[in-house]
Amino acid sequence: MTDLVIRPLVAGEEHVFDSMPDPLPQLRQVAYADGVAGGGYRPETTWVALRADRVVGRAAWLLPPGAIGAPWLDRFDLDAEPEVGAALLRAAHEALGGPGLYYAALPAHWRRRPEVLAVVRAPMAAAQLAGLVEREERIRCSWTGAPLPASSGRYDFRTPADAAEINALVARIAEPDVLTGVETARVVSGIDLATDPLGWLGDAVQGWRVATEAGRPVGLVGTAGDACFPLLAYLGLLDEAARPELLAEAVRVLVAGGAREVIADVEAHRVAVLAELERTGFRQLRTRVTFAPPNSQE
C-alpha cells in the first residue's frame, strides 16, 4: 500500500468524494453535497483513500447540527482490498478520537443478492479488520398505498387521554415491535425511543392510538406525519393478537393526514413482525447493519 494516500477532505472538495461511482445506486441516500450543505457531513469528518489520485475508498461520518452524541460512520464505500479500507478507518478513528458506530446501509434482502454481496463484502470486512464488531440488523419497510386489511371489529382504537397514559403503557411494554429512527434519537438527543418515545416525538397525543378490547388496552402505536417522512415511530403490544389491526390503524391515521408513503423500522430477527408488516402491504426497502466497538453498549 505504498502508493496509497489517506487523508480527510478540505472545504470545497465535495467533488472528490463524488468522483467515486456510487456502488449501490438503488439505495435512497442523501447526496454528499446536500449533507454538507445541511451541516451533517463535514470535510474534517470525511476521509478518502487515493491511489494515483483515484478515490478507492471513502468514509463520511455524520452528525446532524445540534446533536449531543458523537458522529457515526454513515457512508463507507470501497473499491479496493479490505486492508485498504481498514487503514482508512484506523487513520480516521485516530484523528476523530477513537472508533464509533458504523451504520451500514444495504439494499433489501442483501444476503440473497450476489451482486450486492460482491459490493459490500470488502467494506464490511474492512470494518471488522479495523476493530468493529457486527451487532444488530434493522430493516426499513415502506407502505405506498397497498389496500389495508379490513378490521374485524374486535378492537377499538382511541386517542390516549394524555402523555401520562402513553408513558404508563410504554412502561408495560418490554420490547416494542416497531421503533423507527431509534438510532437517530439516541445519537442526536440521547433518548431511548423504546422507553421514552415522547422525549423524541413530543407530548402531543394526536398521532397516537391505543388499541382496546372490551375496554382493556392491548396495544399502543405512535405515528409522526411531520417528520422527514410519515413514519410509524413506535408500536408496542400487550396482546400480540392485536398486531395486524393496530398496524393497519396506524397507517390509516397517517393516510388521513395526507401520507402517501409510510416508513417503519423493525429488527431483522423479529420475523413475526416483518411478516405482519408485509401482510399489511409494507415492502422491505433497505437494511441497516450496525457495527460497533467491542466494548460499546450499542
Q: What percentage of the chain has pLDDT greater than the value 90?
A: 90
pLDDT in tens, 197-209: 999 999 999 999 9
| Positive/negative CA dihedral, 82, 47, 116, 288 | positive
**pLDDT at 1 > cutoff 60:** no
Confidence (pLDDT) at 241: 97
Rounded to an integer, what distance in angstroms lies between the CA atom of residue 29 and that of residue 47? Answer: 18
Confidence (pLDDT) at 298: 61
pLDDT in tens, 115-153: 999 999 999 999 999 999 999 999 999 999 999 999 999
Confidence (pLDDT) at 123: 98
**pLDDT at 69 > cutoff 90:** no
**pLDDT at 2 > cutoff 90:** no
pLDDT in tens, 250-288: 999 999 999 999 999 999 999 999 999 999 999 999 999
For residue 243, report the phi and psi dihedrals to the nearest 5 degrees: -55, -50
pLDDT in tens, 281-295: 999 999 999 999 998
Confidence (pLDDT) at 228: 75
**pLDDT at 63 > cutoff 80:** yes
The x, y and z cell numbers of residue 167, run together, are 408513558
Confidence (pLDDT) at 157: 98
For residue 185, report the phi and psi dihedrals to the nearest 5 degrees: -60, -40
- Compute the mean pLDDT over every residue in the chain, rounded to the nearest whole number: 95
* Mean pLDDT computed over 79-108: 96
Type and span of the H or E element at 44: strand 41-51
Q: Looking at the DSSP assignment, which residues form a beta bridge with residue 132?
A: none
**pLDDT at 227 > cutoff 80:** no
pLDDT in tens, 154-176: 999 999 999 999 999 999 999 99
**pLDDT at 297 > cutoff 70:** no
Domains present along the chain, CATH in parentheses: 4-131 (3.40.630), 143-285 (3.40.630.30)
Which of 291, 281, 236 minimizes the C-alpha distance to 142? Answer: 281
Q: Give me the helices (H) in 148-210, please.
A: 163-172, 182-189, 197-201
